[in-house]
Copies of this chain bind each other. A is one copy, B any other.
Amino acid sequence: MNLESFTTAAAVRHAARSGELTGPTPGLAMGYVQANLVILPKDDAFDFLLFCQRNPRPCPLLDVTEVGSPEPRTIAPGADIRTDLPAYRVFRDGQLVDEPTNLLGLWRDDLVGFLIGCSFTFENALLAADLPVRHIEECRNVPMYRTNIACKPAGRFHGPMVVSMRPMTPSQTVRATTICSRFPRAHGAPIHFGNPESIGIPRIDQPDFGDSVQIRPDEIPVFWACGVTPQAVIMEAKLPFVMTHKPGHMFLTDLRDHELENL
């Protein structure tokens, strides 16, 4: 299978649906917006929607499905969140219990799907501006850290913001800020740069998730709100039943990157 043959989001979704694609999605159908997925029962959906509304930097909502419907009608009409991602995770009482390649046998009439923006969108814009994205240069996962920045709570959902980090020079940081502020639905502008300890990160070389990357002498660490935040908050809430995408195995939307620009 030639992954570069996936030039549209629909082609990626179709390959995932047919079982042909079970691997990660970075680099597929470039220019189409990829999204994090969270699926919850209706009973928890209002509080989670409120959590996202109150914390738009880590949880920028792209779409929410109608109760019981697996179709993200706004961002991918005709798609099916039960089948169109390459791999999923199923949690019961806060424990990971399965990593299936579809959710057909697990779907219920009371489920609601949340599609949340992802850093790929602004990383594409940074790359287009010749700004460095170190973990891509080093073929690693982006380094991510728990911080001491509290999210605004909503019902049973609360916890610290998780951030991703990309090293840059000060002048690159300024340009990256300008570029990313155009994408509020893809985490927006950085939330911090410089001293990691001031946001509760003791060791920059020991990320809580992902891989460590090199920070050069003329560079500072720059931190963005990260889509792992809602996942961490959901794990912490120990819900009876929740399903998500498997990390890196995202939902491909029909939105183009430029459509997330705040114009």
- The 8 Å CB contact of A46, one of B45, B54, B263, is B45
Interface residues of A in 237-263 (CB under 8 A from B): 262-263
Q: Which residues of B contact A154 (CB under 8 A)?
A: 66
Q: Which residues of B contact A49 (CB under 8 A)?
A: 46, 49-50, 53
5 shortest interchain CB distances as A-B pairs? A46-B46, A49-B49, A50-B64, A53-B61, A45-B46
Which of A46, A154, A155, A181 has the most CB atoms of chain B within a 10 A radius of its CB? A46
Chain A window 63-100, contacts with chain B (Cβ cutoff 8 Å), 1 for yes, 0 for no: 11011000000100000000000000000000000000
Residue of B nearest to A50 (CB): B64
Rounded to whole angstroms, the CA-CA distance of A74 and B50 in the bound complex is 12
Residue of B nearest to A189 (CB): B263
Known contacts A46-B42, A152-B74, A154-B66; is-contact A262 B181 (Cβ 8 Å): yes
Rounded to whole angstroms, the CA-CA distance of A189 and B261 in the bound complex is 13
Task: Taking A45-B46, A49-B50 as given, write out 7 further A-B residue pairs in contact, using a Cβ cutoff of 8 Å, ordered by the A residue number.
Answer: A42-B46, A46-B46, A50-B64, A54-B63, A66-B154, A67-B155, A184-B262
* Residues of A that sit less than 8 Å from B by CB: 42, 45-46, 49-50, 53-54, 61, 63-64, 66-67, 74, 152, 154-155, 181, 184, 189, 262-263
Q: Which residues of B contact A155 (CB under 8 A)?
A: 66-67
13 CB-based A-B contacts, threshold 8 Å: A42-B46, A45-B46, A46-B67, A49-B49, A49-B53, A50-B64, A53-B53, A53-B64, A54-B63, A66-B155, A67-B155, A184-B184, A189-B263
Min CB distance A133 to B, Å, is 23
Q: Which residues of B contact A189 (CB under 8 A)?
A: 263
- The 8 Å CB contact of A74, one of B54, B74, B181, is B54
Rounded to whole angstroms, the CA-CA distance of A30 and B189 in the bound complex is 29
Min CB distance A78 to B, Å, is 16
Residue of B nearest to A112 (CB): B46
Residue of B nearest to A42 (CB): B46
Min CB distance A16 to B, Å, is 25
Q: Which residues of B contact A262 (CB under 8 A)?
A: 181, 184, 262
Residue of B nearest to A184 (CB): B262
Q: Which residues of B contact A42 (CB under 8 A)?
A: 46
Min CB distance A191 to B, Å, is 12
Q: Which residues of B contact A67 (CB under 8 A)?
A: 46, 155
